[in-house]
Each structure stands twice: as structure tokens, then as C-alpha cells.
Structure 1
Amino acid sequence: MVLVYSLDVSAPLLRTQGYVDGRWISAASVFPVLDPATGQEIARVSDCGPAEAKRAVDAAYKAFHSWKQYTAKERSVLLRKWFELLMLHKDELAQLITFECGKPMCESLGEISYSASFLEWFSEEARRVYGDIVPSPAKDRKLLLLKQPVGVASIITPWNFPSAMITRKVGAALAAGCTVVVKPAEDTPLSALALAELAEQAGIPAGVFNVVPCSRESTPSVGRVLCTDPLVAKISFTGSTATGKVLLKMAADTVKKVSMELGGHAPFIVFDSADLDKAVGGAMASKFRNSGQTCVCSNRFLVQSAVYDRFVEKLGGAMDAELRLGHGSEPDTTQGPLINARAAEKVLHQISDAVSRGAKVVKGGKRLDGSFMEPTLLADVTADMLCTKEETFGPLVPVIRQVQTGDRD
């Protein structure tokens, strides 16, 4: 029997057009948004290009001149309304995340609470943009420091937290008096567009919050506008290190302010003296959240030799007992799919490379239907293997035997 999963979200929140200057706009073409668990198309979204991106930047620049004149309290009130609307619609917003990103519903609900918390926090911080009075070296002078918004901010966000990575950046920008243009990841534009709908309902003025969704093919040209247009003053990006380098180069000519949150390669270290049950619990929590697709997931596991075999055995037992693959809408699912076939192929390539160099597959190791990957535990891993050099972004645990205590890169 083939199970069919359907996205049950009310029409106002299931938006498929770009959002520019307070209006929903279409583009010359559309691109599909797929459920990564099934490969089924769940929506077709406007494929915005450079023209729509420029239109959004112009709208944000125009709106900036009025938005920055709002009082701190006025901005605070609007952000608070936006927060309340997210919490009111948290179940539907979580569904959007599960269907376009693949997360289990419990994680998606957690993300919406996390996402809303940024708006709540910055709605309160908006009232506290204080200046300073600094003692002057001259008797006839006073030094006053004022904090002022920089202008239009380009917000470029990843697919693994399609709601929270937007509100974390946008909440701060709007609280400060900046306006924004958001380019969501091509895999997960629906969450961004739902946020735009709720921003409009909250009363955020036209042009203050703009969203330009686009396909993978259109991303370079849209990104170029957002990073080079002289009307953009600030860029905030979360994503891969390779992409971050490209954006930094583009931003350099106009000397824009830039904030980058790039890839990770975090080690998980277990010493001989560790409580192994606690270590295994920590490993499970730090590795398998969102099927290993977070920038703070542990990527390589360094375990001292005296406890190595017991740690691997206990971790394998915990994986069998606690991890359940499936569609994120199923209540017992703990591991959804990877975001797309490319992500699954990357993990499989790292496993194949490790095995070819002598690693042993203790658990998993196989790619399943679509972009599902078995949670995989590798033993006898060495530092020359790809999985110890590159960020994995998937459910792979490579365990390295650490013979002696020492510093590790």
C-alpha cells in the first residue's frame, strides 16, 4: 500500500508568488517545490529574476525613509503582532516546514516556536536602542553616540531552518529601523512567503519586508543584484562557506556591511573518564537533529581508545532503539529525508570513500528511496577520509580512535 501525504494549509498561508512593496507579484516562469520525502510536487512558485530583485531593493529603499522615522514603540508593537500571528498559526506553519523541508512535525513545531521567539525578543529590544554620552577630553565639548539603522538589508537564508533563519535576521533589522529583501532557499520558499503573509496581516508597512523566491538556476543572478546594488547597505547570509566567499567578493566593490554564518566541522570528543551513557545521549542529540542537517551538528567523533569499543556499541544500540525513518507527518518519525538527491549522494559518497579506505560500517550505510539515507555509524575511521575533512550535513557518525590525549584541528 502506497501512503499519500497531503499538505493541509489554509489558502492565505500557502502563497506562491513573490512579495514586493506590499503586493503579491508573479514572474515570467515558475519552479516546483517538492516534498523531499516523496518527491511529489506540493506547489509551483514564482521564479523571480534580477528585475524582481531590483524592484524589491527599490521598494525597500523607498520604505526605509519612512520606516526609520517610526518610533521604537511603534516598531515594537508591529513586531509583537507578527509574533502573535506566528504563534496563532504555528500548526500550519509547522506543516509547511515538514512538507518542504522534511523535518518531523515535532521538530517543525519546535522551529516555529524558535522562529517566533526572535520576533518576540526583538519586539522588546526595539524599545532599547540606547545611545551613550561619553566623557569628552575637552571642557567645551560633549560626545553623544547615536545608533541609527544602516538602510536596506539583503537577507539570504538556508533551507534547513526555513522560518527561524529569516526571523532571526529580519527581527533584528526591523527593530533597528532597517528594511529587508529576503531571498529564501529554492527548496523551501513556502515558509518565507507565509511569513510575508503574516507580516502583512500584522501591519508591517509595504516595502519594509520583501520576499523574492527563485529557482536554483536563477539564484546567481538574483544574488548578484542583492549583493551589488548600491542601494543595499547590509548583507546577512547563512549557508555554505563556498557560497559565502562568492557573496563577500560581490559585496566588496560597494563595501557593504556583511554578516556571515557559514559551514561547520564540529568535533565530538569522548575521553576515557566520560560517563558513556551521557556521552551517547549527547551524541544522539547533537548528530541526528533534522537528520544531521544543521550547521551545529557534530561532524566527527574522537573517542579515546580505552572506551572506543564500548562507545561504538552503546551508540549503535541507541540508534536502533531511538531512530525511526519516515515522512515527517507520521507521529513516530524521528528521521526524515535529506533535503534532496544531491544531499543524499554527498553522504553516500563520504561513506563509500571511508569504506574504501578501511572504515567499517557498523549501522546503516545505504541510500533508501528518494533522498532517504539510513542513519550510519562508521568505525575504524581515519583522518585521511573525506568524512573527517568535509562537513557532511547528513546522518553519518564517523568515529575515530584517539590513542592519546592531544589537540585536534
Structure 2
Amino acid sequence: MTTAERETKVVDRVAKRLLIGGEWCDARSGEAFKVEDPSTGAVLCEVADASAEDARAALEAAHGAQAGWARWAPRERGEVLRRAFESLMARQEDLALLMTLEMGKPLAESRAEVAYAAEFFRWFAEEAVRIGGGYAVAPDGRSRFLVTRQPVGPALLITPWNFPMAMGTRKIGPAIAAGCAMVLKPAHQTPLSALALAEILMDAGLPEGVLNVLPTTDPGGVTEPLLADGRIRKLSFTGSTAVGRALLAQSAPQVLRTSMELGGNAPFLVFADADLDAAVEGAMLAKMRNIGEACTAANRFYVQAEVAEEFARRLGERMGALTLGRGSATGVDVGPLIDAKARAKVQGLVDDAVGRGAKVLVGGGPAEGRGYFYRPTVLADVPGDSELSRTEIFGPVAPVIVFDTEDEAVASANDTEFGLVAYVFTRDIGRALRVSEALETGMVGLNQGVVSNPAAPFGGVKQSGLGREGGSVGIDEFLETKYVAIGGL
């Protein structure tokens, strides 16, 4: 089988329709939209385009399934997740290729994402049977306190295009473990991974109506009526801060439980005493994972003056040696950005920095040919007032900004409305603790360039979000606490 034939087979295998009440169906309007390969601009397939009418039907299905699903034994819910975990790993190669075709990342990264995504199912399969409660005697001895946890109810899950499978499992996993029915709206750029995931869950024994999937090119038209209805009791969103603010406003009238994983502007601090080899390696991971299209991507590289020139030189050499190409090809390190708009944004940020005096060490522009490729770029002498220092880049660009003192580095790192993650490289344990505590972020990578782990709480502070996903607290977002006062004793 040729590469082209395998790619066609992988795409053809996936349902291209809506999932509502356990049935695969066309959009009620009959509309469909094209899914594009960002490495070539070619159309991979067409997918049913959901409307508000489809959204209402999906909500009806989720609401109808909620009561019965909540009564399922925790172990049985966990077994659904366990079977889905095993299926994801068994199909890792095909799912990785599917993700690469619709999103663009190299196959090696797609394989890693499938494994990462599967781990959320394995983790929450185990958490399903650990939903706790309590029983206590009242201080006056006259009554008893019974505390129990119950599913919050039907949940609306909205996922982004940059990690199309992992962001799905990170939300679906705890919702299933807690006993919540769901309506999932994946990003229209990458619906195929979500649809494949839904098929796997149905095959794993998830009851009809518990998961409903609505690909759409009209996200507002689909989600607004759901949020206004009153039967959705939980919203979990991953995406931009601007969209998150709008969704919070729409959720307020119904006083919905919300989880928001929003934008980032991650600082990467390198102190003069750092192991430079480790710092450069960490920088490559923090910057180039997912082509830089990640909310956790290092956005601002603050490097102490004594080592700034050497760090920038080494980083430039590593970035310049990366191979661009179609993600499914052998030997490719960097795939395309998601679309033309994303590439234009990156170029605008680079042009602004260069116009203010930044020096291009490597890259600095788009690659020639088809697709939305942008060359890995390192900029030195970047002024602090450049747009790059304030805006989430979402691309393979590393701006190096020089600092002198620890206080200056911390102040610059915190000078943003965002607070998702920061990275710190130092061999001084005192400094490591001081700086980690002083940084206004929900996560810190200390001498490492990757923080994401299904067993750890993921989330930010300030305008980077609300709540946490993953870890032992991830399931809490889908549970309500009920207290029963027992008298007559």
C-alpha cells in the first residue's frame, strides 16, 4: 500500500457525520464543510456542519441519558475508559496519521499525543472508583453529617485544534468517570480526531446519548443556545482568552460551573548559573513542541546577560538545523502552521520586533512552496516593548530578551495578564524556590521544558483560566458536593 493509499484509507475510515443520541447523522440543514491538510492546502474530506437545531437535539439526547448514566457503577464507568485506553493504544499509528493529516504536526509528535491522550482515559478510569465522601458527628453530638459527591450534570465540552485528541480525552475522561453526559464541540479545523475518539468510546461500551459530537463552522450559533437552555450544567473550554471571556458572559445567566483553560504567554528564564546544555534542550521542547502552537509554549526567553549571547547562538543552531516538511514524511521535525491566518500573524509579530531593532539569528520568514510553513526563528536583542513580548506567538519563533538581575527577570515574567506556565533554569536551589514561588503562574517547569502530565493538575491563574484539568483534582470539576444533615439520633 502506498503512502497516499494509506492516508486515504485512514481518512475514509472515520465517520464524517454528527453523533447525536448514539446515531451517526447528517446535519439537519444538509450542510457540510471541508477539512484541509495544512501542509498542502488540499481537501481531505467533508464533514457534516452542525447548526443550532442539531445542538438542541444533542442536548436533548444528553439530558435524556444523564439520569441513567449517573446510576452506572463507578467501576463500570471506569471499565469503559479502560477499554477506550487500550483501543487508542492499539490504533496509535492510524490515529497519529489522521491527526497529522488534519493538523500538520510530524508523525512522531502525533504518536506522542495519542499516547498522552490515552493516559487521561487510564488515569480517570482509576479515579472513577475513588470519588470520596464523608460521615462525621456534629460538634454538639446531636446530628450526623453525611457528605457525598454527585455528577454535576450534562456538560458542554469545547476543544481546540492544536491538540485535537488530548484535549478531548482530558475533558471526556473526568466527565465519564464522574457520570456526566456530554455534548462535545471540536474545532472545525480538526474534527476527524474527535470523531475517531467518539467511535472508540462507543465501541468501548459508552451508552447512547452520553457523548454527542457536533463539528461545526458556526461555533457561536451552536454553543449559545446550549448555554442559554438551562439543562447544560457544566462548561469546559480550552481556547483563547477572548473567546473564554465571551463564554463566561454567556454562562453567567445560568450560573454554570465553568472550567477555562485559556491563553498563555510563557516566560522562559535562564540564569547565568544554569546548565546551558540543559537550558537549550529545555528551550527546544518548550518552544517547538507542536510547532510552537501550544498554550504552554515558551513565548519570551529572558536570559541573564552573562550567557545571553551564547544561549541565543546555541538555540539558533538547533532551530536552524530543523527540517520542515509534510508531517507524514520521514525525517521531518517541523510541520506547517494550521492556516494562512496563523502564519500571517506570526510574520506580523516578527516584522514588528525587527522593526524595533531585533536581530534575526535564524529564520525570520515563511518557507517557500505549498502549505502554511514558517521557518524556525530565533531573534536576539528583542526590545521589551515589542508585540512579541505581549502577544502569544503560537508559532516557531523564539525571542531572546536580556536581563541583569533576578528581580528584573521575575518582574518582566509577571508583566502580563496571562499566568499559565513559566520555565526556570538555574542550579541554585535557593533561587529555584524563590523564583518558582514569585512567578504568577499556575505551573512552573523547573529545569525541564515540558510540564504536561495526566497525573498532575493543569491550569493557570489570572487570565489564563479557571479550574484545573488532570491530576487528582481533575474529576472535581465534574462533581457537586452534597451534604445531608441526619437528625433524630
Residue range with higher mean Cα deviation, 17-26 or 301-310: 301-310
Partner AA of 2:235 in structure 1: I
1:99 has 2:97 as partner:
no
- The answer as to whether partners of 1:12 and 1:197 remain within 8 angstroms in 2 is no
Q: Give distance in 1, aligned partners of 2:159 and 2:149.
A: 26
Task: State the SS of the aligned residue for 2:188.
Answer: coil
How many residues align? The count is 404
Calculate percent identity across the aligned residue pairs.
46
Residue range with higher mean Cα deviation, 26-35 or 85-94: 85-94
Partner AA of 1:111 in structure 2: E
- The answer as to whether partners of 1:152 and 1:234 remain within 8 angstroms in 2 is yes
Q: Give distance in 1, aligned partners of 2:285 and 2:350.
A: 21
- The answer as to whether partners of 2:320 and 2:363 remain within 8 angstroms in 1 is no
Q: 1:145 aligns with which of 123, 144, 147?
A: 147
Q: Name the counterpart of 1:232.
A: 232
Q: Give distance in 2, aligned partners of 1:79 and 1:282.
A: 33
Task: State the SS of the aligned residue for 1:162.
Answer: coil
Q: Name the counterpart of 2:216.
A: 214
Q: Name the counterpart of 1:182.
A: 184
Q: Give distance in 2, aligned partners of 1:13 and 1:154.
A: 26
Partner AA of 2:309 in structure 1: D
Q: Give distance in 1, aligned partners of 2:205 and 2:159.
A: 23
Q: Name the counterpart of 1:257.
A: 257
Once the two structures are superposed, what CA deviation does each residue of 1:128-160 show, in whole Å capped at 9, x if it has no partner?
Answer: 112112331231211010000011000000011
- The answer as to whether partners of 2:320 and 2:376 remain within 8 angstroms in 1 is no
Task: State the SS of the aligned residue for 1:338.
Answer: coil
Q: Name the counterpart of 1:396.
A: 397
Q: Give distance in 2, aligned partners of 1:9 and 1:103.
A: 19
Q: Name the counterpart of 1:243.
A: 243
Q: Offset of 1:90 from its aligned partner?
A: 1.3
Q: Offset of 1:99 from its aligned partner?
A: 0.4
Residue range with higher mean Cα deviation, 302-311 or 386-395: 302-311
Rate the CA distance shift 1:104–1:15 in 2: closer, same or farther, 3 A: same
Residue range with higher mean Cα deviation, 138-147 or 312-321: 312-321
Q: Give distance in 1, aligned partners of 2:183 and 2:224.
A: 13
Q: Give distance in 2, aligned partners of 1:261 and 1:11.
A: 29
- The answer as to whether partners of 1:9 and 1:92 remain within 8 angstroms in 2 is no
Q: Name the counterpart of 1:281.
A: 281
TM-score scaled by length of structure 2: 0.81
Q: Give distance in 2, aligned partners of 1:82 and 1:8.
A: 24
Once the two structures are superposed, what CA deviation does each residue of 1:234-288 show, in whole Å capped at 9, x if it has no partner?
Answer: 0000010000000000000000000000011111111121221111111111100
Q: Offset of 1:4 from its aligned partner?
A: 6.5
Q: Name the counterpart of 1:348.
A: 347
Partner AA of 1:245 in structure 2: R
Q: Offset of 1:7 from its aligned partner?
A: 1.8
Q: Name the counterpart of 1:17.
A: 17
TM-score scaled by length of structure 1: 0.96
- The answer as to whether partners of 1:8 and 1:95 remain within 8 angstroms in 2 is no
Partner AA of 1:343 in structure 2: A
1:315 has 2:318 as partner:
no
Q: Offset of 1:87 from its aligned partner?
A: 1.5
Q: Offset of 1:12 from its aligned partner?
A: 7.5
Task: State the SS of the aligned residue for 1:147.
Answer: strand
Unaligned runs of 5+ in 1: none
- The answer as to whether partners of 1:13 and 1:197 remain within 8 angstroms in 2 is no
Once the two structures are superposed, what CA deviation does each residue of 1:18-76 show, in whole Å capped at 9, x if it has no partner?
Answer: 10100011012110000110101001000001110111011000000110111112212
Q: Give distance in 2, aligned partners of 1:256 and 1:158.
A: 21
Q: Give distance in 1, aligned partners of 2:85 and 2:200.
A: 9
Q: Offset of 1:225 from its aligned partner?
A: 2.3
Task: State the SS of the aligned residue for 2:100.
Answer: helix
Q: Offset of 1:220 from its aligned partner?
A: 1.3
Structure 2 counterparts to residues 111-130 of structure 1, below 5 A: 111-130=113-132
Partner AA of 1:21 in structure 2: G
Q: 2:61 aligns with which of 50, 59, 62?
A: 59
Partner AA of 2:258 in structure 1: V
- The answer as to whether partners of 2:134 and 2:146 remain within 8 angstroms in 1 is yes
Q: Name the counterpart of 2:194.
A: 192
Rate the CA distance shift 1:139–1:405 in 2: closer, same or farther, 3 A: closer
Q: Name the counterpart of 2:434.
A: none
1:272 has 2:304 as partner:
no
Q: Give distance in 2, aligned partners of 1:371 and 1:273.
A: 39
Task: State the SS of the aligned residue for 1:106.
Answer: helix
Q: Give distance in 2, aligned partners of 1:169 and 1:134.
A: 32
Task: State the SS of the aligned residue for 2:132.
Answer: coil
Q: Name the counterpart of 1:171.
A: 173
Q: 1:109 aligns with which of 96, 107, 111?
A: 111
Once the two structures are superposed, what CA deviation does each residue of 1:169-222 show, in whole Å capped at 9, x if it has no partner?
Answer: 11101111101000000100001111111111111110001100001xx11111
Q: Give distance in 2, aligned partners of 1:276 and 1:238.
A: 33
Q: Give distance in 2, aligned partners of 1:403 and 1:197.
A: 54
Q: Give distance in 2, aligned partners of 1:291 and 1:10.
A: 23
Q: Name the counterpart of 2:465.
A: none
Q: Give distance in 1, aligned partners of 2:353 and 2:6.
A: 38
Q: Give distance in 1, aligned partners of 2:309 and 2:4.
A: 42
